[in-house]
């Protein structure tokens, strides 16, 4: 997921902005601190996932470059709990199975809204080194606080009739949701996430049809798009809240190896959000996420 290439810059900028807000509006102004230290005000005041925490590196976004985790075996408990983390390490067949499930799910998304620049049909989705470099340049503009220029570059790379790049579409969705270089438009952001998921699924489908067990060029983007759509369904960003769909998308992304999705899946299981409560299964997802990122996670001790 996207990592810390903007973190220091935003920490400084947002501390200044937060100080200015506190001086102007007092301590009761509505703001949200995300783990990276960035302050983001969301459309409904709910928690937001930041662009900086979605990926470890730009070009290393596929699961082949991420750490995969191995969960412990729990004997008879596996038969008693419906939702347990899947062991992907050393198991390409299982990994391909979940990738195929995610691909089928993503291809059912509509992405037929009337948001500016979005069309249901476009050119063949692309993901290659030259586009990655172009996206990196757009991110560099973001880091330089040239947010409008950055958003314009993301939009051009995301254009369905142009590059039609899934990662750029995810970044457009995040920018629109948080108002980075553009007016906040959460509904249009959702449509970009849907488009990214469908385009990523098309790329992955081609890889699977060619006999690859897993890891087409857009696997990371597919996981990112599903995770962000899960957040939208969970919080009602640009749509009605739908706990069951949110859990389904979190679970899909988690079983494709995404550690952040594992934490959210665990939270859903712990609290019965969109699924029945299962603290044992929740603990296994917390443990799986902890092994993946090396950071202790509260709630993994049941």
Choose the weakest-confidence range: 14-18, 72-76, 155-159, 192-196: 72-76
Q: Regarding predicted confidence, which is higher, 266 or 41?
A: 266
Residue 67 has pLDDT above 60, yes or no: no
Distance CA 283, CA 302 (A): 6
CA-wise closest residue to 139 among 7, 27, 278: 7
pLDDT in tens, 265-282: 999 999 999 999 999 999
H helices of the chain, where? 7-25, 77-80, 92-107, 129-143, 147-158, 166-178, 186-209, 219-235, 243-254, 259-271, 279-293
Residue 106's pLDDT band, with cuts at 50, 70 and 90, is: confident
Residue 260 belongs to some domain of the structure: yes
Q: At 93, which CATH number?
A: 1.25.40.10
Backbone angles phi, psi at 232, to 5 degrees: -65, -45
Residue 130's pLDDT band, with cuts at 50, 70 and 90, is: confident
Residue 65 belongs to some domain of the structure: no
Q: What is the pLDDT of residue 94?
A: 65
Residue 131's pLDDT band, with cuts at 50, 70 and 90, is: confident
Residue 141's pLDDT band, with cuts at 50, 70 and 90, is: very high
Percent of the chain with pLDDT over 70: 54
Distance of CA 142 to the CA centre of its chain: 19
What is the four-CA torsion angle of 32, 33, 39, 40, rounded to 10 degrees? -40
Residue 28 belongs to some domain of the structure: no
Q: What is the pLDDT of residue 63?
A: 38
Residue 122 has pLDDT above 90, yes or no: no
Residue 74 belongs to some domain of the structure: no
Residue 79 has pLDDT above 50, yes or no: no
Residue 109 belongs to some domain of the structure: yes
Residue 95 belongs to some domain of the structure: yes
Choose the weakest-confidence range: 65-79, 97-111, 117-131: 65-79
Residue 143's pLDDT band, with cuts at 50, 70 and 90, is: confident
pLDDT in tens, 160-174: 998 899 999 999 999
Residue 15 belongs to some domain of the structure: no
Residue 181 belongs to some domain of the structure: yes
Residue 12's pLDDT band, with cuts at 50, 70 and 90, is: low
Domain count, the chain: 1
Mean pLDDT of all residues belonging to the chain: 71
User: 145: domain range?
Assistant: 84-293
Task: Please say whether the dihedral angle defined by the alpha carbons of residues 120, 251, 69 and 287, taken in this order, is positive or negative.
Answer: positive
Q: What is the pLDDT of residue 82?
A: 63
């Amino acid at each position: 997921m996207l990592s810390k290439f903007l973190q220091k810059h935003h920490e400084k900028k947002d501390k200044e902005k937060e100080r200015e807000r506190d001086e102007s509006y007092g301590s009761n102004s509505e703001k949200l601190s995300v783990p990276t230290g960035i302050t983001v005000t969301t459309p409904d005041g709910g928690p937001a996932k930041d662009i900086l925490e979605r990926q470890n590196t730009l070009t290393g976004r596929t699961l082949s470059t991420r750490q995969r985790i191995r969960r412990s075996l729990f004997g008879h408990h596996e038969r008693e709990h419906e939702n347990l983390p899947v062991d992907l390490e050393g198991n390409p067949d299982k990994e391909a199975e979940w990738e195929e499930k995610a691909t089928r799910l993503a291809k059912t998304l509509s992405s037929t809204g009337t948001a500016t620049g979005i069309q249901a049909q476009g050119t063949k989705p692309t993901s290659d080194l030259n586009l990655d470099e172009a996206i990196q340049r757009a991110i560099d503009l973001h880091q330089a606080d040239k947010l409008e220029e950055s958003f314009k570059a993301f939009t051009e790379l995301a254009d369905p009739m142009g590059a039609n790049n899934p990662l750029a579409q995810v970044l457009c969705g995040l920018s629109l949701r948080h108002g980075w270089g553009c007016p906040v438009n959460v509904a249009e952001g959702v449509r970009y996430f849907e488009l990214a998921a469908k385009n990523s699924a098309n790329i992955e489908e081609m890889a699977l049809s060619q006999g690859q067990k897993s890891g087409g060029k857009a696997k990371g983007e597919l996981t990112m798009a599903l995770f962000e759509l899960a957040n939208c369904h969970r919080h009602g960003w640009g749509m009605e809240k739908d706990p069951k769909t949110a859990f389904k998308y979190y679970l899909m992304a988690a079983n494709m190896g995404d550690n952040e999705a594992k934490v959210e899946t665990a939270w859903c299981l712990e609290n019965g959000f969109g699924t029945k409560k299962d603290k044992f299964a929740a603990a296994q997802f917390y443990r799986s996420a902890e092994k993946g990122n090396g950071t202790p996670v509260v709630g993994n001790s049941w």
